[in-house]
Amino acid sequence: MIDAYTHHAEPGAAGGTLAFLFHGTGGNETQFLGLAGDLLTDATLIAPRGDVSENGALRFFRRTGEGVYDMDDVARATAKMAGFIKAHVQAASPSRVIGLGYSNGANILAAVMLDNPTLFDDAFLMHPLIPWDPTPEPVTTRTLITAGERDPICPPERTRALETWLKSQGAPARILWHPGGHEIARSEIEAVAAFLRSAEVPHDH
């Protein structure tokens, strides 16, 4: 399962932080390497490439329209990605596991996290859209959601519902809003950096 996805791997400090990076629709495995390299200087970076093509744009699962997901394919992708992540965690024995995803990448990260609530220590969900009701299960992952107040793709009420659900399951979660749309704002990057700095060293995996 460690090679279930075509991916970029950048080694960091042995036994240190392991960070998984998930690109948005139309991106690829290099999308967040520069950002993560700046924010997580000693981390091992694993960036998978989406295995679904939507008119040539890479994604992690199929959809039938904007915000309308093929839920069977979401289940397939979630199980496949969880196996991929667990294989890398087992191989690396990291002290901390982080996930960062944007748009479709945030959605696959959230889907894996909701099915595997102890897998990640920290998760950064940038402009996620989870239009289904997750199965209740205690979640320990510290989660930062970032979103645009005028995002035409991710309705703010769905973003708030995700935060509310995570908090109801016990997860330390919060949202950072910016006044724009679906683009990544500078304030989001700064919030991720501050969130990382505030973290205590978590449990071993």
Strand segments, DSSP code E, in 91-172 are 96-102, 122-126, 142-148
Task: Count Cβ atoms below 10 Å from residue 28 Cβ, excluding itself.
Answer: 15
Torsion sign over Cα 181, 197, 31, 17: negative
Helix (H, G, I), strand (E, B) or coil at 143: strand
Which residues are catalytic, by number?
A: 103, 151, 182
Could you tell me the CA-to-CA distances from 24 to 8, 37, 103, 147, 153 in Å, in that order? 15, 18, 5, 14, 12
